[in-house]
Structure 1
Amino acid sequence: MTEHSGLTHPAYGRLRQVTPYAAVMLCENPGLFELEGTNTWILRAPESQRCVVVDPGPDDHEHLRRVAQQWPVELTLITHRHGDHTGGVDHFLELSGAPIRAVDPRFRRAGMDGRPGDGLPDGAVITAAGLRIEVLATPGHTADSVSLLVDDPAGGSGVVLTGDTILGRGTTVLDHTDGSLGDYLASLEVLIEAGAGRRCLPGHGPELPDVAEVAQQYRAHRHERLEQVRGALRELGDDATPRAVVEHVYQDVDESLWPAAEMSVRVQLDYLRS
């Protein structure tokens, strides 16, 4: 096991301790949707000799090896189905031997010792690596998205691992294949209620000081964009294409980000037209 203190985001290939019970290994897979890369979270109470891994990441064998060698893995959890979080599940199972739990059955794996890889139903409480972890269903980015509320074993305020529902910087793109703006707005309300005073540990980007505060900012931003889309439809017509709406609404955004914006606009239009 190796631990590195004093590191700041981004720190590729090194375990960065964020709280006494939560550390992150940043995968070097930067991109438009991944920001600096995927955050793989490693959770364990200070006295525990085993850990919980959240989102092993893509099929990057060097990254997966680094994660697996930190502590014996008791359990792996998946926040949502996207490949930058799940692509490495099979190889990570080989390395860790630990069961993998996910909402989507495609990513569940039984452990090498026969322990089942169960689902992650809303409200489920997981006790592992000396920690209490509660599952919060937070769909919207994808239909299977969950957040994980982790209590501080020392009695502090705890943290919430938000996957891609809240990012460390920028805003979340809603997947037009199964994302839902209605679900996403409801999920933000869940995080506002559950996350007050709890640190935000996102799937991409740096950690943030308070989940509820950033969720409120996200909510305000979404409603502002919705009003802009409504305004665009009034000018362009109700049958305007997502691309036309992007060109009208996102003039303040670099054009390299327009493909991501178009995905979100598709979801916004579905919301308004339904």
Structure 2
Amino acid sequence: MTEDTGIRTTALARRLTAPNPGPMTLDGTNSWLLGAPGQEDVVVVDPGPADRRHLAALAAAGRTVLTLVTHRHADHTGAVDDFHALTGAPVRGFLPEFCRDAPPLTDRETVEAAGCRIRVLHTPGHTSDSVSFHLPDDAPTGADGPGTGGTPGSVLTGDTILGRGTTMLDHPDGSLGDYLRSLQRLAVLGSALVLPAHGDVRDDVEAVCEELLEHRMERLAEVREALRALGRGASLEAITARIYADVPARVLPAARSSVGAQLAYLGF
């Protein structure tokens, strides 16, 4: 295995960021390479967009035995077919249309590959098919090793939890009710490290989830206030403009989608 391919982030995970930075992808889409120390085999999570150099770097990281995808968006799945052709490794996602030579993932399933135990958690909200991958045996770099000393583990959160900021809810496929329940589910993992699909690693998933839940409650209060000020018949565009007055125009579509999810949650 080529250990200098990707940034070693935890005992079991390395990160290789695709060259697709932007307002929705932050620094780019993180592809994660999972494998126990000394293993040649790797599991690739989110091969990313169809960028030839990025895929070549992923393939050079070891022998890919499985590819997993966190959700359907193209910056995560655009390379599925190219990477499958390059490596021959089966591909699994929650939706069958993103699977190749393997069945869809199921909630609470445990996948064992490349010396890792990977627990599948269905965490909808950003999209209906979003999943997170819990590595209970993972440890921070510099720890005694994976699975020792009561280490907190880690969780790959896709776009459900980002390395900074908050995710958009891809309404109507994504739903606020689902998202709040997913945050509550992830919070149970306690001090596990957060390995997001965009941005940097975050400590303590429970604390991050509490912060995000509080933020969503504040946004709901802002939506209620906007409805009082503008009237119950106010347009989605007007409500979004009032709440996100300082947001750049290029991210307003994402803001409108999240506001639409909030309105649906409130019964409008």
Please tell me the TM-score bracket, short chain as reference. Answer: over 0.9
Asked if 1:102 corresponds to 2:93, the answer is yes
**CA drift at 1:252:** 4.3
Q: Which moved more, 1:82-91 or 1:150-159?
A: 150-159
Q: Which residue of 1 aligns with 2:54?
A: 63
Letter in 2 for 1:191: L
Letter in 1 for 2:134: L
Q: Which residue of 2 aligns with 1:160?
A: 155
Asked if 1:84 corresponds to 2:78, the answer is no
Q: Which residue of 2 aligns with 1:46?
A: 37
**CA drift at 1:263:** 1.3
**CA drift at 1:243:** 1.1
Task: Map 1:62-211; keep pairs closer than 5 Å.
Answer: 62-110=53-101, 117-151=102-136, 152=138, 153-155=146-148, 156-194=151-189, 196-211=190-205
Letter in 2 for 1:170: G
Letter in 2 for 1:69: A
Asked if 1 retains the 8 angstrom alpha-carbon contact of 2:193 and 2:201, the reply is yes
- SS of the aligned residue for 1:133 comes to strand
Task: Structure 2: give runs of 5+ residues left out of the alignment.
Answer: 139-145
- SS of the aligned residue for 2:266 comes to helix
Asked if 1:223 corresponds to 2:217, the answer is yes
Aligned residues, how many? Answer: 258
User: C-alpha root-mean-square deviation of aligned residues, in Å?
Assistant: 1.3
Identity %: 50
The TM-score normalised by the length of structure 1 is 0.91
Letter in 1 for 2:244: Y
**CA drift at 1:108:** 0.2
Asked if 2 retains the 8 angstrom alpha-carbon contact of 1:101 and 1:120, the reply is yes
Q: Following the alignment from structure 2 to structure 1, what is the Cα–Cα distance between the partners of residues 48 and 54?
A: 8
**CA drift at 1:88:** 0.3
Q: Following the alignment from structure 1 to structure 2, what is the Cα–Cα distance between the partners of residues 204 and 74?
A: 24
- SS of the aligned residue for 2:188 comes to helix
Q: Which residue of 2 aligns with 1:2?
A: 2
Task: Structure 1: give runs of 5+ residues left out of the alignment.
Answer: 5-13, 111-116
Deviation readout 1:100-154 (Å, 9 max, x if unpaired): 01111111001xxxxxx12111100011111111011100000000000012233
Q: Which moved more, 1:14-23 or 1:88-97?
A: 14-23
Asked if 2 retains the 8 angstrom alpha-carbon contact of 1:47 and 1:130, the reply is no
Letter in 1 for 2:3: E
Q: Which residue of 1 aligns with 2:24?
A: 33
Asked if 1 retains the 8 angstrom alpha-carbon contact of 2:24 and 2:251, the reply is no
Deviation readout 1:145-199 (Å, 9 max, x if unpaired): 00000122332221000000000011100002400000000000001112x1110
Q: Which residue of 2 aligns with 1:23?
A: 14
Q: Following the alignment from structure 1 to structure 2, what is the Cα–Cα distance between the partners of residues 241 and 104?
A: 33
Asked if 1 retains the 8 angstrom alpha-carbon contact of 2:2 and 2:62, the reply is no
